[in-house]
Amino acid sequence: MNWEVEAPNVVTEARFRELVESGHSAEILCQESAHKKGPSYYGIWIMRAVSDDGLEKLLVTARTRTTHNDIKIREFKTITGVVSFLVGIGFSHADVPLEEGQRTTHKLTASDKGSSD
């Protein structure tokens, strides 16, 4: 596979940011229900960029690839990680699903885009 060309249905963080900034929604999917451990909540969340016409792009890591040149889905293991990622994109709020199978969607607003400059 030519890694210089975008793989179908997946994007790295930089492209994910571009898509969200250009109008795609950021969808957070809870893969493993959240549980409290100490002062933090842990679980597993993944993200997708979703266009208005329903085209989905799954967020993958841009780190070194595994032994067979595989791509790896980017997993967030704490709520803090999810929130930090969303704030880094420019969102002014975060609605994080807590139960396995739940999902939430975020879309940058004009005020979000203005505050990220």
Domain residues of the chain, as ranges? 10-63+70-102
Residue 69's pLDDT is 62
Q: Show Cβ contacts of residue 75 under 8 Å, excluding neighbours closer than 6 positions.
A: 31, 44, 45, 46
Which pTM value belongs to this model? 0.83
Q: What are the pLDDT digits (tens) for 33-91?
A: 999 999 999 999 999 999 999 999 999 987 555 556 667 899 999 999 999 999 999 99
Residue 2's pLDDT is 44
Has residue 6 got a pLDDT over 80? no
Are 25 and 107 a contacting pair, CB within 8 Å?
yes
Are 41 and 91 a contacting pair, CB within 8 Å?
no
